[in-house]
Chain A
Amino acid sequence: MTLSGEFFAFISLALVAVVGGVLLLNLTKVVHMVLALVFTFVSIAGIFILLSAEFLAAVQILIYSGAITIIMLFGIMLTRHDDTKEPKTGLLRKLLLFLGILGFAFAFYIGIYNLDFGEVSTTLHENNTEQIGIALYSKYIIPFELTSVLLLAALVGAIVLSKNDQEKEAKKE
Chain B
Amino acid sequence: MSSVPLSAYLALGLILFCIGLYGALTKRNIIIVLISIELMLNAANINLVAFSKFGVMPSITGQIFALFVMAVAAAEVAVGVAILIALYRNRNTVNIDEVNTLKH
A-B interface pairs (CB < 8 A), number: 233
Chain B residues whose C-beta falls within 8 Å of the C-beta of A50 in the assembled complex: 4
A117 to B16: give the CA distance in the assembly, Å: 23
By the criterion CB–CB under 8 Å, are A89 and B54 in contact? no
A155 to B4: give the CA distance in the assembly, Å: 40
Interface size on A, residues (CB 8 A): 88
Chain B residues whose C-beta falls within 8 Å of the C-beta of A119 in the assembled complex: 54-58
Instruction: Please report which residues of chain A, range 31-90, place their CB below 8 angstroms from some CB of chain B when the two chains form the complex.
Output: 33-34, 37, 40-41, 44, 47-48, 50-53, 55-56, 59-60, 63-64, 67-68, 71-72, 74-76, 78-81, 83, 87-89
By the criterion CB–CB under 8 Å, are B85 and A75 in contact? yes
Contact with A along B52-64 (1 / 0, CB 8 A): 1111111111011
By the criterion CB–CB under 8 Å, are A120 and B54 in contact? yes
A109 to B8: give the CA distance in the assembly, Å: 10
Instruction: Please report which residues of chain B, range 28-58, place their CB below 8 angstroms from some CB of chain A when the two chains form the complex.
Output: 28-29, 31-32, 34-36, 38-39, 42, 45-46, 49-50, 52-58
By the criterion CB–CB under 8 Å, are A83 and B95 in contact? yes
Chain B residues whose C-beta falls within 8 Å of the C-beta of A40 in the assembled complex: 16, 39, 42
User: Closest CB-CB distance, A53 to chain B, in whole Å?
Assistant: 5
Instruction: Please report which residues of chain A, range 83-117, place their CB below 8 angstroms from some CB of chain B when the two chains form the complex.
Output: 83, 87-89, 93-94, 97-98, 101-102, 104-105, 108-109, 112-117
A53 to B67: give the CA distance in the assembly, Å: 11
**Chain B, interface residues (CB within 8 Å), range:** 35 or more
By the criterion CB–CB under 8 Å, are A109 and B14 in contact? yes
A79 to B67: give the CA distance in the assembly, Å: 31
Footprint of A on B, CB under 8 Å?
Answer: 1-12, 14-16, 18-23, 25-26, 28-29, 31-32, 34-36, 38-39, 42, 45-46, 49-50, 52-61, 63-64, 66-68, 70-79, 81-86, 88-89, 92, 94-95, 97
- 13 additional contacts (CB under 8 A) given A109-B11, A162-B81: A1-B3, A1-B4, A17-B16, A51-B9, A64-B42, A71-B78, A88-B28, A97-B25, A116-B7, A121-B59, A124-B60, A147-B71, A161-B85
Footprint of B on A, CB under 8 Å?
Answer: 1-4, 6-7, 10, 14, 17-18, 21-22, 24-25, 30, 33-34, 37, 40-41, 44, 47-48, 50-53, 55-56, 59-60, 63-64, 67-68, 71-72, 74-76, 78-81, 83, 87-89, 93-94, 97-98, 101-102, 104-105, 108-109, 112-117, 119-122, 124, 128, 131-132, 135-136, 140, 143, 147, 150-151, 153-155, 157-159, 161-162, 164
